[in-house]
A and B are shown apart, each in its own frame.
Chain A
Amino acid sequence: MTLEARKLELIQLLAAEERPSALDIVEQVLRTDVSDNDQQPKLESYLKKYNKEENLVDKLSMTYQFADEIFEHSNGNTHDILKELLLTFNDKKFHLSELKTLLVISKPFKAHETIKEARAALLSTYQEKKANA
């Protein structure tokens, strides 16, 4: 199955759940430039579970667990997946703690060429949201 077909399938799956926020997340994923598709099924699976979870602390724990997975089984594309995650969550509609968690996870890599732009953009969104919270 091609990446586009897999994304379409994910959209249909999430749409069937009638969760607008899930569609928003998928839209973010579609806007993302994916340079390596090995982790895409894992990302999709994580986002789907993430969207179903309602407890914020549990959602954040899931993000850490997903980060664990990409760091442990990345085949050298850790930073690409991390970038994708940063782009996916770069939206003020997310809770401040959701934005902050991605910033904490990516902090050790903030100067890395692959992610620094995406992280800076997320940081800007976070700062704006925090200032208005």
Chain B
Amino acid sequence: MLDLSAIIKSGEDSGSIADFVALGYQYDDRYSHAAFIIQYEGDLIEFHYDGFGVVYSALLDTYFQKITQTIHPDEVPAFIVYCKRIKEKAKPIYGYFYSGEFYDSEGNYLMNKDLGERMTCVGFCLNVLKGFLEEDYIDYTDWGNETHTEPDYLQSYCKRHQLDMSKVKASHRRVTPLEYLTSGLFSDLPIRKFQIDSRKDDVKEYVLNQLGV
């Protein structure tokens, strides 16, 4: 059984740990969000897409975090420079889409041309991981359009953004911030949805307990 105690609150508990890249998760009744929390030479950094733009800054918010075992402490400098490159060039647009795109070393988004740079906060983090790691981080094909509960989302989104639904439908999926945090419990890549499903309720309960909810 994977130990959930490795999920901690950012900033409060990580002071004595060496350099790391962690998967961060924020949650309240109306909102959940995903980010990277990076510790390098004692500084804590958050790197994420907040729905408006890409943020690379000193850690300001509190996240629940799980250090990913896929990035070695000695690789943190390389990850930081890669994130800064993405920060310079990335122009994401919010939408429930992901189909294995990634940011290359120039910060360019290698994408489905019909879709453009459309993603969620989790999609952004997955794109970053995919560009940095040799192997795919998750097997995204495990996720389908059933992964969100908003009715007619694709239809109304495509109408609003003048997209051809037939060309972007295959990329329509959502990986949730909770699934993103839960993925941090695994290190053999690519991580499969059934693995995450097997632990995400435990992770949710653990987070809620920590929040005193």
Contacts and interface: CB of A to CB of B under 8 A. Distances in A.
Interface of A: 56-57, 60-61, 64, 67-68, 71, 95-98, 100-101, 103-105, 107-108, 123, 130, 133
- Chain A facing B: main interface SS: helix
Contacts of A67: 105-106
Contact of B75 (A61, A100, A107): A100
Contacts, number: 56
Contacts of B74: 95-97, 130, 133
Contacts of B110: 108
Nearest to A58: B81
Contact of A57 (B72, B81, B104, B131): B81
B81 A103 contact: no
B159 to A, nearest CB: 33
B104 A97 contact: no
B134 A97 contact: no
30 contacts: A56-B77, A57-B80, A57-B81, A60-B77, A61-B81, A61-B84, A64-B105, A64-B106, A67-B106, A71-B106, A95-B77, A96-B72, A96-B74, A96-B78, A97-B74, A97-B77, A97-B78, A98-B78, A100-B75, A104-B82, A104-B105, A104-B131, A104-B132, A107-B104, A107-B105, A107-B131, A108-B104, A123-B134, A130-B72, A130-B74
Interface string B97-138: 000000011100010000000000000000000011010000
